[in-house]
Amino acid sequence: MAVFKDERKLSPEYVPERLPFRERELGQLIHYFSSVVRDEKPFHARVVITGAVGTGKTSLAKLFGMTAEKEGRKNGYNVKYVHINCRKQGTAYAVLAKISEELCIGLPKRGFSIAEMLAAVVKSLNATGTRVILCLDEVEALISKEGAQPLYSLTRAMEDEAGENMVSLIVVLRDPEFLKRFDPSTASSLGNTVIHLEEYGFDQLLEILRYRAGEAFKEGVVSDEVLEFISQIASDRRDARYAIELLWRSGKLAELDGSGSITAEHVRKAAASVYPTIRRENLSYLRTDERLILLASARALKGGKAAISSEDLYNHYKVVSEEMGFEPFSYTNFWEKLQWLQDLGFLRLSIQTDRKGRKTYVYLPGIPATLLETEILRSFGREQDVRRRTVV
């Protein structure tokens, strides 16, 4: 039985026409970039968007991009929004190649230096009078691979080469703390304007799900009770992406069942399939450094604490690395791996604000810390450590 009216409306790539609870932030972006779409001699803005996974960063940037292109057209300017995911385009070179591809600027694939490619891109923009709003999404991935230097060169060269200054910039990253790790010149080249997206709570997730379910499902397929149940599960992670994935999977399971509506049991099955608990065979796919980070997390949290700050965890990680005989990674690298472990469902990161500022906290969802410790030590062939520690 068909439950979906339009399944694509729940796909990760789809950008909804409006983003409830992000109207203010959308307004801010429109405000900051107003000159680009309106003025004859545009002033080019630079804005940083931060926020944890599933707070709507990517959607907000893309929705703004569409709005800006439309607004520019209305005013007779050729405004082009280019969205680059740095996780996919992991090097400055790949980023530039992607930009030229998006802008239909023909460049030979090889034999061009970064500076030459950049010059060619800017020249073409000037010739065609194209105003670009470039969005570099998940920029941590680029930085963890190549350091901040390529990003710095990219933004600086845009300033120098552009003359007419044709390129505006939106940089998207998760942790506002990350900015502090740049040297001041790189940080300032990214702009001083930061829009931080707070994580969604239960009520907000519920409202978002109501809206998205209305677009995707036929009438009567999802009850409000089911949406509340999904919001409840997802509000633990405060993550709209997870909520929407649960909604979509629940729909698929209902369809598979030949059921005309989604039940709580479909939701429970969906939740079990999205984040499988840590099983031995899953751990064996992880790399050494990733297992060391999990071991550090398990050790740090087994005393009963719910969460640990990423800085404190880094110190635990260094100790654990030394104990196991491995060279620890830099903090930037460590941080990127935390994100990866979150993407895999092993860790949960949450950005929290207190008197001293914002901090990232690391949680272990899904498995007791002691069990995780045992499993990881076993994967390193160190069962005897487990026994020794239990005796002590």
CB of 121 to ligand ADP, least distance (A): 26
Q: How many CB atoms lie within 10 A of CB 105?
A: 18
- Which lies closer to ligand ADP via its Cβ, residue 208 or residue 233? 208
> Nearest 5°: phi and psi at 211?
-65, -50
Q: Which residues are CB-contacts of 218 (< 8 A; sequence separation ≥ 6)?
A: 2, 3, 4, 5
Rg (CA), the chain: 23
Q: Which is nearer to Mg ion, 294 or 347 (CB)?
A: 347
Residue 51 interacting partner from Mg ion, ligand ADP, none (CB closer than 5 to 8 Å by kind): ligand ADP
Q: For 338, list phi and psi in degrees, rounded to 5.
A: -60, -45
Residue type, 338: L
Pick the binder of ligand ADP from 29, 45, 53, 308 (CB under 6 A): 53
CB of 91 to Mg ion, least distance (A): 19
| Residue where the block lists tokens 């949960």 | 348
Contact between 208 and ligand ADP per CB under 6 A: yes
Between 58 and 130, name the residue whose CB sits nearer to Mg ion.
58
54 touches ligand ADP by CB under 6 A: yes
Instruction: Give the nearest distance from C-beta 58 to ligand ADP in angstroms.
Output: 3
Q: Does 51 bind ligand ADP (CB under 6 A)?
A: yes
Q: How many residues sit close enough to ligand ADP to count as binding (CB under 6 A)?
A: 20
The string of DSSP letters for 48-67 reads EEEE-TTSSHHHHHHHHHHH
Strands lying side by side in the sheet with 307-309: 307-309, 357-363, 348-354
Per CB under 6 A, the list member of 47, 135, 244, 313 interacting with ligand ADP is 244
Find the binding residues for ligand ADP in span 211-230 (CB under 6 A): 211-212
Helices (H), the chain: 23-32, 34-38, 57-74, 92-102, 114-128, 139-146, 149-162, 184-189, 202-216, 224-235, 240-256, 264-274, 280-283, 288-301, 310-324, 331-343, 369-379, 383-391
Scan residues 39-78 and list those touching Mg ion (CB under 5 A): 57-58
- In the complex with Mg ion, the residue whose CB is nearer, 52 or 364, is 52
Segment near ligand ADP (CB under 6 A); pick from 51-59, 65-73, 105-113, 222-230: 51-59
Footprint on residues 303-332 left by ligand ADP (CB under 6 A): none
Instruction: Please list, residue by residue across 358-372, b when 16 or more beta carbons sit within 10 angstroms of its beta carbon and e when fewer do.
Output: ebbbbbbeeeebeeb
Nearer to ligand ADP, 51 or 65 (CB): 51
Among 25, 32, 37, 55, binds ligand ADP (CB under 6 A): 55
* DSSP codes joined into one string, 300-340: HHTTS-SEEEHHHHHHHHHHHHHHHT-PPPPHHHHHHHHHH
**12-41 mask for ligand ADP (x: CB under 6 A)?**
x---x--xxxx-------------------
- Closer to ligand ADP at the Cβ: 131 or 212? 212
The CA-based dihedral angle spanning residues 63, 41, 126, 190, taken in that order and rounded to the nearest 10 degrees:
-60
Residues near ligand ADP, by CB under 6 A? 12, 16, 19-22, 51, 53-59, 208, 211-212, 240-241, 244
Residues near Mg ion, by CB under 5 A? 57-58
